Structure 1
Amino acid sequence: MLSLTQLVAEELAVPVQTGVGEFAAHIAAQFNGAARAVLFYGSCLRSEQLQGEMLDFYLIVSDYETAYGKGWLAKWNRLLPPNVFPFQHNGLIAKVAVLSEKDFHDLNRPAASAVSVWARFAQPSRFAWCADETAKHTAVIAISGAAPTLLNAALAFVERDVDVLDLWQSGFQMTYSAELRAERKDRPSSVIAFDPERYRSFGIAALFHTSIANELRGGKILLLPDVDGRIAQEKNRWPGLRRRGKLLTIARLAKAAFTYAGGIDYLAWKINRHAGTHIVIRPWQRKWPLVAALFLVPKLLAKGAVR
């Protein structure tokens, strides 16, 4: 059986479509030689549909000062990671989240202040561009922390013996509840259903790296005696993660009003697509996107379009 690190490395190395690789190289070239890796993930990776869609990339950089200079962008990327920018290239569009190698490593682990990075990179991703073999290895090690972090959280709330895929389902439901998300309630199960064997093999490998002791018997996961109180520790941190995650979502939306041209239109597109709403952005909302976002989010919460 392959180790978790080997599984991550193999998955990341699966070739991307030519257009995705060219787009990623274009993105990497814009950051003053600081780019280390460009990772492709999300719904477009699963569907392989690029035209007319918003591609999702994470750009990993050596450090923020090299990437931006010493201006406010570097400061805010450090204080409230990640910065998110829109990009266009050869008829494709994307949003690009920027993290340093250090932040990317730390945000894929249990001590992360929010779930957003490890929840995403517990799912499949690909190298769309990479600076060198050292950058590849560093990204593999960072991402190898994501699945154990998610499954460890789910283990803390297990009430009976569970299947590996059920544990993934619980973990994704927990992470969705810790952010303001526009996706429908069945989204976690649809993500797993796209490639259940992938989640089964990654899950079995990741369970060797959780802090909550467990054992796989007959296809079921059994909790072992919790002599160190790890279950209570994990349970106790989740109310704070949920509160902080939703507040961070709003704070990042506010920051995106300054860093993301057309961000309010992207927000409406994303919510309409995933929640089945019909939000129309008015001219004043484009002129004052921060004010618009602050008014829009409470209304969507009241309607249940985001949770």
Structure 2
Amino acid sequence: MTSKADQELTTFILDEWKRPVPDAVKQAAQAVADKFGDCVSGILFYGSCLRTGDIEEKVLDFYVIVDSYKEAYQKRWLAIANQICPPNVFYHEMDIAGMTVRCKYAVLSRSDFAFRVRPECLNVSVWARFCQPCILLLPKDDMTRQSIAGDVAQAMKTMISNLLELIPGATNSRDLWVEAFEQTYSAELRSERRGKGLEIYLLDQDRYDALTALAEEAMGIVPGPIPPIKQPPRTERFVPRLKWFARRCNGKFVSFMRLVKAAMTFDGGIDYLAWKIKRHSGVEITVTDRMRRHPILSGISLFWGLKRKGAFK
């Protein structure tokens, strides 16, 4: 049974989803949804374009939540690839009122999304990503909207509980979220440098402070001042550190495999990746015609060189 505190946390998410969204974003989301027909449960809009409100010359970020992979794809191999190493990632662009609107969209099933926001999911990418602001577009019905909002609320609790397990002394909202974002960014192949966690927190400080109180209440954590915590014995710190080490190993391997897979599904993927890395890290990549013709082999050969240049954490 859902507690009152859980309901309040979910209501917070539902209220966030009432924010206005530019018509161009709605049209792009509808165009993406049309590719998958009636099996779309909803499309989650997230990322820097949502945070800043700037969409011109940017790439919109969507997660397409589908009822099942089998229903979503006409090609069986795409359904299998999405099941084995979710999500599949695609690219779409369209002209809207004379402006080229670009979007990157990942596909995840309802069941995969529900699992990947829970504490037992080792990979951080979904529960860490949806602690940040998002808006659900084109929900199938109100029951689906409520269900996905509950999953997003669960992502908040998963993020906080996993961080507190590692650092019990993170007693205020700023310390908690900044360190949580730094830890989860380090558990993926990310081009962002250290300090990104603080930047994300400061963009929506009031939001994260409010969410901390709601999530901790839903988790049964007593609010208010907490006395200084003695450093746990070394044996007690070993298991949480081991878990986060496993998350980093898993996250980097899975991120790499997703990049390889995206090379087969993402038109212009090599060019997009080069642009993204330069934007976030300053590392410039010269993309050749040969790299565009053989994106998978080129991506693998480039990986270690980019790692040495500091393009990835």
1:191 and 2:200 are equivalent in the alignment: yes
Aligned to 2:294: 288
Kindly indicate whether the alpha-carbon contact (under 8 Å) linking 2:82 and 2:107 is maintained by their aligned counterparts in 1: yes
- Other structure's SS at 1:152 match: helix
Structure 2 stretches lacking a partner, 5+ long? none
Separation of aligned partners in 1, 2:61 and 2:183:
22
Aligned residue number for residue 299 of structure 1: 305
Please say if residues 164 and 170 of structure 2, whose CA atoms lie closer than 8 Å, have aligned partners that are also in contact: no
Range 195-204 or range 1-10, more displaced: 1-10
Q: Secondary structure at the match of 2:107?
A: strand
Is 1:237 paired with 2:243? yes
Q: Distance in 2 between matches of 1:29 and 1:231?
A: 49
* 1:277 equivalent in structure 2: 283
Deviation for aligned residue 1:126: 0.6
Pairing partner for 1:51 from 56, 61, 67: 56
Offset at residue 208 of structure 1 (A): 2.9
Give the distance between the partners of 1:230 and 1:60, measured in 2 at CA: 38
- Give yes or no for contact 1:115–1:175 (8 Å, CA) kept in 2: yes
Three-state SS of the structure 1 residue aligned to 2:129 is helix
In structure 2, distance between residues paired with 1:235 and 1:47: 34
Alignment match, 1:19: 24
Q: Distance in 2 between matches of 1:4 and 1:105?
A: 16
Distance 1:207 1:235, change over 3 A: farther
Report matched runs for 1:103-118 at 5 Å: 103-118=112-127
- Which string of whole-angstrom CA distances, capped at 9 and with x for unpartnered residues, describes residues 87-119 of structure 1? 112220010000011111111111113101111
Please give the secondary structure, in 1, of the residue aligned with 2:90: strand
DSSP-derived class of the 1:40 partner: strand
Determine the structure 1 residue equivalent to 2:105. Answer: 96
Asked whether 1:42 is paired with 2:47, we answer yes
Give the secondary structure class of the aligned counterpart of 2:222.
strand
SS at structure 1 position matched to 2:37: coil
Q: Is the 8 A contact 2:186 2:248 kept in 1?
A: yes
SS of the residue 2:138 aligns to? strand
Counterpart of 2:150 in structure 1 is 141
Name whichever of 158-167 and 285-294 sits farther off: 158-167
> What residue number does 1:131 align with?
140
Aligned in 2, Cα 1:16/1:221: closer, same or farther, shift over 3 Å? farther
User: For residues 167 and 71 of structure 2, what CA distance do their matches in structure 1 show?
Assistant: 45
Structure 1 residue 152 corresponds to structure 2 residue 161: yes
1:201 and 2:210 are equivalent in the alignment: yes
Q: What secondary structure does 1:148 align onto?
A: helix
Letter aligned with residue 80 of structure 1: C
Residues in 2 aligned to 1:268 and 1:86: alpha-carbon distance in whole angstroms: 15
Q: Which residue does 2:13 correspond to in 1?
A: 8
TM-aligned CA deviation for residue 222 of structure 1: 7.3
CA–CA separation in structure 2 for the residues paired with 1:236 and 1:299: 28
Q: Counterpart in 2 of 1:247?
A: 253
- How far apart are the structure 1 equivalents of 2:302 and 2:81? 23
Contact 1:54/1:94 (CA < 8 Å) preserved in 2?
yes
TM-score, length of structure 2 as denominator length: 0.90
Deviation per CA, 1:239-295: give whole Å up to 9, x if none. Answer: 111101100011001111111111111111110110012212111111110111112
3-state SS in 1 of match to 2:166 = coil
Q: Which runs of 5+ in 1 are unaligned?
A: none
CA distance in 2, matches of 1:241, 1:221: 30
Paired residues of 1:32 and 1:68 also in contact (CA < 8 A): no
TM-score scaled to structure 1, two decimals? 0.92
Per mean C-alpha deviation after superposition, the further-off stretch among 50-59 and 291-300 is 291-300
In structure 1, the residue matched to 2:35 is: 30
Match of 2:189 in 1: 180
Number of the residue aligned with 1:79: 84
How far apart, CA to CA, are the structure 2 residues paired with 1:81 and 1:117?
10
Separation (CA, whole Å) in 2 of partners of 1:121 and 1:221: 31
Deviation at 1:147, TM superposition (A): 1.1
Measure how far apart 1:38 and its partner are. 0.7
Q: Within 2, Cα distance between the matches of 1:119 and 1:132? A: 26
Deviation at 1:221, TM superposition (A): 8.4
Which secondary structure state, in structure 1, belongs to the residue aligned with residue 117 of structure 2?
coil
Aligned to 2:223: 216
Q: Which amino acid counterpart does residue 119 of structure 1 have in structure 2?
A: A
CA distance in 1, matches of 2:191, 2:241: 25
Partner of residue 163, structure 1: 172
